[in-house]
Structure 1
Amino acid sequence: MSYQALYRVWRPQAFIDVVGQEHVTKTLQNALLQQKISHAYLFSGPRGTGKTSAAKILAKAINCEHAPVAEPCNECEACRGITNGTIPDVLEFDAASNSRVEEMRDVLDKVKFAPTAVNYKVYIIDEVHMLSISAFNALLKTLEEPPKHVIFILATTEPHKIPLTIISRCQRFDFRRITAKSIVNRMKLIVDETGVDCDDRALQMIARAADGGMRDALSLLDQAISYSQDRVTVEDALTVTGAVSQGFLNKMARAFQEKDVASGLDSLEELLFHGKDPVRFIEDLILFYRDMLLYKTAPNLEESLERAMLDEDFRLLAEATSAEQLYQYIEFLNKTQQEMRWTNHPRIFLEVAVVKLCQMETKQREAASSEQLEKLLQRIDQLEQELNQLKTNGIAATAQETAPQQQKPAPRTTRNTFQAPVGKINEVLKAATKSDLQLVKSNWGEMRAGLMKSHAALLNEAEPVAASDTAVIIKFKHEMICQMAMSRKDFLEAVSASFSKLTGKRFLILGVPEEQWLTIRENFINSQHSDEGENSGTPEEEEPHIAEAKKLFGAEFVEIID
């Protein structure tokens, strides 16, 4: 085969060609110039970031005829022989296919022999984490005290699988993922040199799909060139990477924004018809909204965008979507992605997710706060009107029936306090019986259980204190709760209907705060005693303990037995 893949043709032959790993190449170049070469190196990092290429370049630089140099000349016999693989003193050993201890011992047996063609023997062990424990043990002693003419370079993508005893004997260099910008620049150089016509946006799409690996990027570029006709377009890049086009993502996002379920499902059907992977689409959508969030919060950080292109549709969508919506979308899509990993029907999960996103009610905090405040003000106005009506009906009756000896009217209460209907309560107390109260109390719990939760909650700290054949007086611990309960017609009707169902009697419900109840009850008892004295003409003095008992429990509940 005369054709070679791009990643093989354009494999770095000098440190300057190793893209995105300046922290590694600069350190190695300084060590070469100062002749401070270690006997063992460990290169770790993701795939396609230049570990093996850097190891070969280091082997050439050490053995270059012009050493010490920062870069191999690639022209002398040593450099050309190492590049072609014809010098036996530089051995590239694949640990993935030679993981047994026998292969490792065969290699180590030759370590003691001096190099024949160059100054240093260099052993490049690729995927070193695949070695067996016995092979690591065989390597350990030689790695600790190798001959002066031997250098080991270990490369791995999973350094956590290497024994710490091996790592501690090496100089470790961590290779990073290559940025999309660096990958694009490298690919531009390649397409310019090869004369391929390529769209810049297509290169950006390929670079983002490569996920930080230069080899993956060049493989995708090679595939896109083969797929395209005269020019590598964005659509060609989307086809070979399996990604979803920017226009499609904008269309889906518009459907979510406008809550158009039909448009969202039609777009999804079109996506699946073209063979796109549902899991890949969810990932693209998460990155799309992540980019939109970054664009809204930091518009100048265009370099940090992973998936989105800053076209006009994207900018309009970003302006129309709040940050709160983006948080909800990303959180929901992330949960859906996790669920899709454990199902045999990812399409169903994706369709459900699209419907939910179109119907999702976003949390508008500011608007909600404003709306709640408006409702609260309206509720306050309504309560004030009902309070004025209660004052007019209840206090007028009280003025006629309580304490006739008082010539001065009672001071008016403030607008925001609840005034119990004293006149109606006194009428109920006159007709109240112990048996009626016992009937109400025995059915109190069952009555509450039959109410709605919002109605039952108003009775959490309330209890019946008196009852007649037609009415019940309920004492509330807090005045505000009492006012709220007595102003709700639906609550009064529900309590009355529940009692009617349980007892067969239709009660009128009267509420009174605990503080007012003590005063009303005491005034009622005093007025009753005054009436009894006037009727008898010779009021008898009551014993102190009986009077105290009546004050505590109410005269209607105290029965005196001689």
Structure 2
Amino acid sequence: MHKALYRTFRPMKFGDVVGQDHIIRTLKNQISGGNVAHAYLFSGTRGTGKTSTAKIFARSINCLSPADAEPCNSCEMCRAIIDENIMDVVEIDAASNNGVDDIRELRENVKYPPARGKYKVYIVDEVHMLSQGAFNALLKTLEEPPSYVVFILATTEPHKLPATILSRCQRFDFKRLGVGEIVGRMKGICAEVGVCADEEALNLIGMSSQGAMRDALSILDQCMSYSSECISYEDVVSLLGTVNFEALSRLSDAIIRQDVKACLEMINELVVWGKDIKNFTQELTEHFRNIIIAKLDGRGDGILGVTGEMAAEISRQSQGISGDELIRIIKQLSALQNDMRYASNPRIVLEVAIMKICSIEEDSKSEALIARISRLERLLSGVKAGAHTAEAQSQPKEFEKPKEATKLTEDEPEVCKNASEKKRIERQNDDIDKLWKDILGLIKDDRRIPVQAMLKEGTPLEIGKGVFKVMFKDSFDFHRKALSKDENAAYLRSVVKRVTGEDMYINLVIESEISSEKSPQEDALDEIRRLEEIFPPEVLQIKDSLE
């Protein structure tokens, strides 16, 4: 029977364990110094070497001829532990032996000293699966075990363990392996078994394993069975059902260009080829994550975990988009992954989300507004640079005296101006009166009669352009103050938004405060205040006007 790669190449010595140098160094120092603890907790994600390290540790402390705290794997004790025909090293699966009775049996067996070795080692895998009663039964034994007993608890979810268990153990956290570490180990295995594999193929396997060496070796084992010759990048893509880098690059380019048609065509192509939409969305999110890292870190070769050619392509894409736009896209793709969990047709959800990402002008969220501002700033900086160049190249010319226009009588232009202004004011007053009636009616429907009664005493001056302005006579200043309170002002703002569809600044004034006409500086300050209500302070930057 074929033996899986992760079992065939399981680490046999501390030196074979990849990516956990901080743990291996501590354990070897404890063995060399003779200060082995009575209880250890190995925590970390799957496939990072917890159980393998526990078995190596059990052999090392029982080895008859250790060298530099490493087990020899050839003496009587080491061979017995490897062949699992010794009672001094016991491996317990807590997922299936999680009851109080199982722990009571363990407590009874602890009383007996080791039959052949120096230490009796209990390796409890998936210890977080024990019941509360089982944890309570283990406490006393774990706190004061016999001198010849060593407990090694392994878990992927240490937060589920009671604090009383955690405080009795020396804890070691196994970290996820980097892509480079996994690829290096796979290269050694391929060389040992005589299999050829492309660098890009091994990189893709390393990224797909999510930091778990066991997962990477399982995928590599499948690829060896799939490919009779050299394992190529396309072989791994076909086997995993993922999307190749070229397709991700083409689609992300189309998103950056805001080419909705091209995006939909590529999504249709992926569906026709039977690619999983949810996996593809995750890969697209990771690709944009790589783009933003490349934008912030030059090329980010050490962080991206891709080949040099891929890193160069990602760096090229990062030059054509701003950081704000990338953050907006990643946020929307992350929300899309959450929406897909409950979607009966993920393709439609993906297509709608891509349309929304590309149609930045239709998105009113703050991230989209920031991205639009960033794009405008880039465009305006280019226009300004072009204007300065044209001005430098042009020669100064004398202004020609304008030709005399046909003279009107002194009264005619003034009459025309007054007539058009009068019509504009009449239209504006009609609109304000209609909106005012609608606002009062809606407040009445909400049964907020006191608010309606106080507001009716005012006169609407302006409803639009981001401002809802009402004037009260000086004798009704009490009404103005009551309506200006936070609760009433928030309610008025919501009513105005329901009527007009616009979020407006509520401005309640008394007659004596109204001046004949505001200066341009005051108007500018009002506009700034409105912007401060809409945008967070870190987005706004007030600059002097250009001459």
Q: Which residue of 2 aligns with 1:366?
A: 377
The 10-residue stretch of structure 1 (321-330 or 93-102) with the greater mean CA deviation from structure 2: 321-330
Amino acid at match of 1:329: I
Q: Distance in 2 between matches of 1:347 and 1:317?
A: 25
**Contact kept in structure 2, 1:243 and 1:280, CA below 8 Å:** yes
Which AA in structure 2 matches 1:305? L
- Once the two structures are TM-superposed, the CA of residue 359 in structure 1 deviates from its matched residue by 3.5
Match of 2:46 in 1: 47
Matches within 5 A, 1:318-397: 318-361=318-361, 363=372, 364-367=375-378
Question: Matches of residues 504-519 of structure 1 in structure 2 within 5 Å?
Answer: none
Aligned residue for 1:342, secondary structure, equals coil
Residue 289 of structure 2 aligns with an amino acid whose one-letter code is R
2:105 corresponds to which letter in structure 1? D
User: Cα distance, 1:368 vs. partner?
Assistant: 6.1
Query: Is the 1:78–1:118 contact (alpha carbons within 8 Å) kept by the matching residues of 2?
Result: yes
Question: Which deviations, in whole Å up to 9, do the C-alpha atoms of 1:30-58 show, x marking residues without a partner?
Answer: 00000000111110110110000000000
**Which whole-Å CA distance do the structure 1 matches of 2:234 and 2:292 have between them?**
25
Cα pair distance change 1:136/1:446, threshold 3 Å:
same
Within 5 Å, give how 1:431-450 maps onto structure 2.
446-449=430-433
Q: 2:30 is matched with which residue?
A: 31
Task: Give 1:119-130 correspondences, 5 Å limit.
Answer: 119-130=118-129
Deviation of the 1:336 alpha carbon: 1.7
Give deviations 1:180-199, integer Å, cap 9, x for gaps.
Answer: 11111111110010100101
Q: 1:479 and 1:167, CA in 2 relative to 1: closer, same or farther beyond 3 A?
A: closer
User: 1:256: Cα distance to partner?
Assistant: 1.9
* Contact preservation (8 Å) 1:206, 1:217: yes
- Find the counterpart in structure 2 of residue 16 from structure 1: 15
1:482/1:71 CA distance change after superposition, 3 Å = closer
Residue equivalent to 1:477: 517
Using a 3 Å threshold, how does the CA distance of structure 1 residues 189 and 457 change in structure 2: closer, same or farther?
closer
Q: Closer, same or farther in 2 for the Cα pair 1:444/1:122, shift >3 Å?
A: closer
Aligned position for 2:168: 169
CA distance in 1, matches of 2:168, 2:70: 26
Percent identity for Structure 1 against Structure 2 = 42
1:46-100 C-alpha deviation (Å, 9 max, x unpaired): 0110000000000000000025841111111111111111111100011001111
- Residue 265 to residue 456, structure 1, CA distance change in 2 (3 Å): closer
Match for 2:78: what amino acid? C
**CA contact under 8 A between 2:462 and 2:469: conserved in structure 1?**
no
Q: Which amino acid aligns with 1:248?
A: A
Encode CA deviations 1:430-455: one digit per residue, 9 max, x unaligned: xxxxxxxxxxx999964524599999
Cross-structure match for 1:131: 130
> Residue 331 of structure 1 aligns to which amino acid in structure 2?
K
Cα 1:63–1:457 change in 2 (3 A) is closer
- Find the counterpart in structure 1 of residue 545 from structure 2: none
Q: Deviations over 1:123-145 (max 9, x none)?
A: 00000111111111111111111
Report the CA distance shift for 1:269/1:149 in structure 2 as closer, same or farther (over 3 A): same
CA distance in 1, matches of 2:427, 2:223: 80
1:272-312 deviations in Å (ceiling 9; x for gaps): 22222211111111111111111122125302115686445
* Structure 1 residues 480 and 290: alpha-carbon distance in aligned structure 2, compared to 1, 3 A threshold: same
Q: How does 1:24-173 map to 2 (within 5 A)?
A: 24-67=23-66, 69-173=68-172
User: Residues 203 and 307 of structure 2 are in contact (CA less than 8 Å); yes or no, is this contact kept in structure 1?
Assistant: no
TM-score scaled by length of structure 1:
0.68
Distance of 2:109 and 2:99 partners within structure 1:
17
Distance 1:260 1:5 in 2: 46
Distance 1:107 1:172 in 2: 22
1:304-334 deviation per Cα after TM superposition (whole angstroms, max 9, x unaligned): 1156864454443333333333223212212
Residues 514-529 of structure 1 mapped to structure 2, 5 A cutoff = none
Aligned twin of 1:294: 293
Whether the 8 Å contact between 2:295 and 2:315 is mirrored in structure 1 is: no
User: Take 1:169 and 1:273, find their aligned partners in 2: how far apart are those partners?
Assistant: 56
Give the direction of change, closer, same or farther, for the CA distance of 1:373–1:450 in structure 2 (3 Å limit).
farther
State the AA in 2 paired with 1:277: D
Report if the CA contact (8 A) 1:94-1:125 is conserved. yes
**C-alpha contact 2:66 2:72 (8 A) present in aligned 1:** no
Q: Tell me if the contact between 2:42 and 2:171 (Cα under 8 Å) persists in the aligned partners.
A: yes
Query: What does residue 254 of structure 1 align with?
Result: 253
Three-state SS of the structure 2 residue aligned to 1:93 is strand
- Whether the 8 Å contact between 2:432 and 2:462 is mirrored in structure 1 is no
Matched position secondary structure for 1:237: helix
Change over 3 Å in CA distance of 1:393–1:147 after alignment to 2: farther
Q: Matched residue of 1:152: which SS?
A: strand
Contact persistence 1:42–1:155 (CA under 8 A): yes
For residues 481 and 447 of structure 1, what CA distance do their matches in structure 2 show?
A: 27
CA 1:96–1:448 in 2, change beyond 3 Å: closer, same or farther? same
Distance across 2 between alignment mates of 1:105 and 1:455:
78
Letter in 2 for 1:478: K
State how far apart, in whole Å, the 1-side matches of 2:469 and 2:98 are: 76
Q: 2:255 corresponds to which letter in structure 1?
A: F
User: Structure 1's 228 and 371: CA in aligned 2 closer, same or farther, altered over 3 A?
Assistant: closer
Q: What is the 5 A alignment of 1:163-202?
A: 163-202=162-201
Q: 1:230 to 1:168 in 2, by over 3 A?
A: same
Residue aligned with 1:172, SS: strand
Q: Please report the TM-score for the alignment, with normalisation by the length of structure 2.
A: 0.69
Alpha carbons of 1:365 and 1:203: their partners in 2 closer, same or farther (altered >3 Å)?
Answer: same
Distance 1:155 1:19 in 2: 18
Q: 1:316 to 1:118 in 2, by over 3 A?
A: same
The residue type equivalent to 1:366 in the other structure is: E
Instruction: List alignment gaps of at least 5 residues for structure 1.
Output: 375-391, 398-420, 429-440, 464-473, 485-562
Cα pair 1:32 1:69 within 8 Å, conserved: no
Q: Which ranges in structure 2 are unaligned for 5 or more consecutive residues?
A: 362-370, 386-406, 420-424, 437-460, 472-513, 525-547
Give the letter for the 1:252 counterpart.
L
The residue type equivalent to 2:70 in the other structure is E
State the secondary structure of the residue aligned to 1:123.
strand
Cα–Cα, structure 1 residues 373 and 164, in superposed 2: closer, same or farther, change >3 Å?
A: same
* CA deviation string 1:107-134 (max 9, x = no partner): 2211111111211110000001111111
Matched-pair contact (CA < 8 Å) for 2:6–2:217: yes
Distance in 1, Cα, partners of 2:379 & 2:432 = 32
**How many residues matched?**
420
Shift of 1:356: 2.9
What is the root-mean-square deviation of aligned Cα atoms in Å? 3.7
- Matches of 1:268 and 1:238, distance apart in 2: 17
- SS of match in other structure, 1:154: strand
What SS class does the counterpart of residue 155 from structure 1 fall into? strand
Distance 2:210 2:128 in 1: 22
State the SS of the aligned residue for 1:320.
coil
Secondary structure of the corresponding residue to residue 74 of structure 1: coil
- C-alpha spacing 1:372/1:328, structure 2 compared with 1 (3 Å): farther
Question: What is the rounded CA distance, in whole Å, between the counterparts of 1:209 and 1:483 in structure 2?
Answer: 58
